[in-house]
Amino acid sequence: MDSAPATVLTVATSLLLGYGIARAGAAGFNELRNAVFAKVAQRSIRKIAKNVFVHLHNLDLSFHLSRQTGMHLIKMCTDSI
C-alpha cells in the first residue's frame, strides 16, 4: 500500500465485502431458524387440534344438538395459533 488512495480503496472494499458476508450469514441463520421452528410449530398445532377434536367428541350429544359445532370450531382454533 504505497499511497493513500490505494489504502482508502482497500478499506472500502474490505468493508463492503464484510457487509455482504454479514448479510449472507444473517439470511442463512434466519433460514435455519425457520426450518427448525417450523417443525415445532406444526407439531404443536397438530397436538392442539387433536386435543380440541377429542374434547368435542367427549361432550354430550345435547351440547352438539343445541349449538353449532364441528369442523368450523376446529378451524377457528387452529387458525388462531
pTM across the whole model:
0.49
* Percent of the chain topping pLDDT 90: 38
Q: For residues 12-43, b (16+ Cβ closer than 10 Å) or e, as one string?
A: eeeeeeeeeeeeeeeeeeeeeeeeeeeeeeee
Q: In the chain, how many domains are there?
A: 1
The answer to whether the beta carbons of residues 46 and 71 sit under 8 Å apart is no
Looking at the predicted structure, is the pLDDT value of residue 57 above 70?
Answer: yes
| Residue scoring higher pLDDT (2 or 3) | 3
- Identify the domain containing residue 73 by its residue range: 4-79
pLDDT for the residue numbered 62:
79
Task: List, for residues 14-51, the tens digit of each pLDDT value.
Answer: 999 999 999 999 999 999 999 989 988 889 988 988 89
